Amino acid sequence: MQSMNGSSMYALRDVPGKGKGLVAIENIPKGTRILSEQPVITTPERQQDDEWLKRHISQQVDSLSEHQRQSFFSLYNLYPYQNVAEQSLGIIRTNGLPIEANGIEGGVFLDACRINHDCDNNAQKHWNQSIKRHTVHALRDIPKGEEITIYYLRLDSNRAIRQKKLQDKFGFLCSCRLCSLPTQQSQENDKRLERIAQLDDLIGRDGMQLNFWLRTLRYVDERVRLYNEQGPGNSGLPRAYLDAAQIAIANGDLARGRIFAERAVEGWRTACGSDSKEVIEHRSIAQDPAKLHLYGLSMKWKTSEEEVPQGLDPNDFDDWLWKREKPKKVEQLGQLTDLRNREIFPSFAALPNSNKVDLDFYEKVDDTYQPLRLWCFLGEIVDSITLHHLELTLTDIDDKKIPLHFNTDGRGRELAPAQIQKGHTVAVLHAQRRVFMYGDPGIGLGDPQMLKIFPVSLKKLLELNDQVQKFSTKVDGIRTCHGCSKKAASLNRCGKCLLFWYCDSGCQRTGWSERGHKANCKLLRDPGLRGLFFLKWD
């Protein structure tokens, strides 16, 4: 029998061990809308007693065409009955699908209600609020001859819970691929599903508290990975990608936020269709992530939509997308770092708040919170004043002015006057944002050992950093000559700053004269500045 709506994609056929079911009679590509159907019977959202419900349903059954009535009564009925009204009620309770409409709870669809359950379903059922129809879409490519299946239950659960719910509600024990796995594999699958549920709770808890930490993104990353291990096209993926988009955008990261939102919308487009409420509501975020109401809660991951790396392979791109860069632990210092790395050298807006523990920066050790990694704030002195204590006005890498208050024992007298000069750069280890009783939010310094001042502007320091990154670091075993820019595996290192490399003495003279190495070499011999580049805070 062909489908009731005239589709040529499927037919009603005998399915071994399941009775009747819908089977693909042609190859159905992923994302295809297999059917779009209106209900023939509906049930109210607030049901009264059974007698009232039987009369309500009987009136609808009587209005069906003869063909529709025959199809309706041929649907499976889990419940015993003594008359037509009880039979109709039993069919609806066995086969009814949810409907999200005012005053309506569920309904019977003559084609969709023929689709059998599978815990590893290849299609997604969905009430499309926009078109007021029940739709079914292919979650993956469905080859000709394969049964079309959906998932009957609301939530993913372990095998034992699934079997009990299906037996209690629908009267059968599932024998799908997932339910027929060998014991060890089934236990691994159950653990995966349990972990997905745990992660969902953790993500939801952080979201309710408006805590959009890197840790929360890690939860979503793991959840997506586990979904993919379950099999392709999991219907939970779009929601997970939307969670990731919200976390990124809440931290000012429009580049990642847009990509996550695009993935969420594409997932809903596959499972629900382009005209679904989910796609319509969320595609505006994919087009302009700054429209999300959470945007700007923090700017510690700040990027523009255009700051997406190009030329990466898929694995490296995903590592960037999920911020899988492993932060340097405090005990793993001593490697050359990039002063433009905002994970290590954040702007003021990206610093942790002193009023609460930010788990992107701290971890709990023996009932106390310790720095998880090293971070350092850089700001250029633009003004200074001394009343009860020294207060410096700094501009950070975003050109934002910030007060730095000296709450040290000496109230700032620890610094020599020659250090407190406009145009000098201040570095504060483990700096925190703080709200003061008077004045603008800023940084409070309690330990003078956490501060260093360098006789160079922030702009000049970052320009020096760019040269160090270009002419000091090794890429795939190759370095770049600071004099002629030739790339080679074997170069000679400057004996004074020990950072720049040259082909020979001629190139070194060129570097000294044309690239300002003489001045830079003097700066880089300063132990404090050199320590900044190597994350050594002595």
pLDDT tens digit sequence for 195-220: 999 999 999 988 888 888 888 999 99
Q: Give me the pLDDT at residue 515, please.
A: 66
pLDDT in tens, 308-354: 999 889 999 999 999 986 544 443 445 788 999 888 899 998 898 88
Q: Give me the pLDDT at residue 453, please.
A: 94
Mean pLDDT of the chain: 88
β-strands 133-138, 123-128 pairing: antiparallel
**Domain finish residue from 150, 165, 196:** 150
| 269 domain-assigned | yes
Work out the pLDDT band at 393, boundaries 50, 70, 90.
Answer: very high
Mean pLDDT calculated for residue range 364-379: 83
Mean pLDDT calculated for residue range 445-459: 93
Over 328-361, what HEC string results?
CCCCCCCCCCCCCCCCCCCCHHHCCECCCCCCCC
pTM of the model: 0.66
Q: Give me the pLDDT at residue 509, please.
A: 78
Q: Which residue has the higher pLDDT, 493 or 123?
A: 123
| 443 domain-assigned | yes
Q: Give me the pLDDT at residue 411, please.
A: 92
| 327 domain-assigned | no
> How many separate domains does the chain show?
4
Mean pLDDT calculated for residue range 444-471: 92
**Separation of alpha carbons 261 and 338, rounded Å:** 30
Per-residue pLDDT for 96 more than 70? yes
**Domain finish residue from 133, 150, 167:** 150
> Helices (H) and strands (E) in the chain — how many of each?
14, 22
Work out the pLDDT band at 6, boundaries 50, 70, 90.
Answer: very low
Give the number of other CB atoms < 10 A from CB of residue 155: 13
pLDDT in tens, 474-513: 888 888 998 888 898 889 888 788 888 888 878 877 777 7
Shared domain for 221 and 199, answered yes or no, is yes
| 37 domain-assigned | yes
Work out the pLDDT band at 387, boundaries 50, 70, 90.
Answer: confident
Shared domain for 440 and 465, answered yes or no, is no
Percentage of residues in the chain having pLDDT higher than 90: 54
| 464 domain-assigned | yes
Percentage of residues in the chain having pLDDT higher than 70: 96
Shared domain for 299 and 361, answered yes or no, is no
Work out the pLDDT band at 261, boundaries 50, 70, 90.
Answer: very high
**Separation of alpha carbons 283 and 279, rounded Å:** 6
Mean pLDDT calculated for residue range 450-472: 92
Per-residue pLDDT for 442 more than 90? yes
Mean pLDDT calculated for residue range 73-79: 89
Per-residue pLDDT for 471 more than 80? yes
Shared domain for 405 and 390, answered yes or no, is yes
Shared domain for 214 and 298, answered yes or no, is yes
Question: At 160, phi and psi to the nearest 5?
Answer: -60, -45
Helix axes 254-272, 277-287, angle to 10 degrees: 160
Work out the pLDDT band at 118, boundaries 50, 70, 90.
Answer: very high
β-strands 368-371, 362-365 pairing: antiparallel
| 163 domain-assigned | no
Work out the pLDDT band at 104, boundaries 50, 70, 90.
Answer: confident
Dig out the tokens for 152 from the structure: 């009957």
Please give the C-alpha separations between residue 82 and each of 41, 85, 87, 96, 235, in angstroms, as whole numbers: 21, 8, 7, 20, 40
Q: Which domain holds residue 524?
A: 459-533
Work out the pLDDT band at 47, boundaries 50, 70, 90.
Answer: low
**Domain finish residue from 455, 485, 503:** 455
Shared domain for 485 and 387, answered yes or no, is no
Work out the pLDDT band at 514, boundaries 50, 70, 90.
Answer: low
Q: Which residue has the higher pLDDT, 103 or 403?
A: 403
Give ∠ CA 11-28-139 in degrees, rounded to 5. Answer: 110
| 174 domain-assigned | no
**Separation of alpha carbons 113 and 80, rounded Å:** 19
**Separation of alpha carbons 38 and 55, rounded Å:** 21
**Element holding 134 (H helix, E strand):** strand 133-138
Q: Which residue has the higher pLDDT, 470 or 326?
A: 470
| 32 domain-assigned | yes
Please give the C-alpha separations between residue 400 and each of 34, 78, 349, 440, in angstroms, as whole numbers: 55, 68, 9, 12
Per-residue pLDDT for 264 more than 60? yes
CATH number of the domain at 89, please. Answer: 2.170.270.10
CATH number of the domain at 304, please. Answer: 1.25.40.10
Shared domain for 50 and 135, answered yes or no, is yes
Q: Give me the pLDDT at residue 251, please.
A: 93
pLDDT in tens, 425-435: 999 999 999 98
Q: Which residue has the higher pLDDT, 456 or 505?
A: 456
Q: Give me the pLDDT at residue 482, please.
A: 86
Q: Give me the pLDDT at residue 426, please.
A: 96
Q: Give me the pLDDT at residue 328, please.
A: 45
Shared domain for 31 and 135, answered yes or no, is yes
Shared domain for 98 and 51, answered yes or no, is yes
Longest dimension (CA), the chain: 103
Shared domain for 197 and 288, answered yes or no, is yes
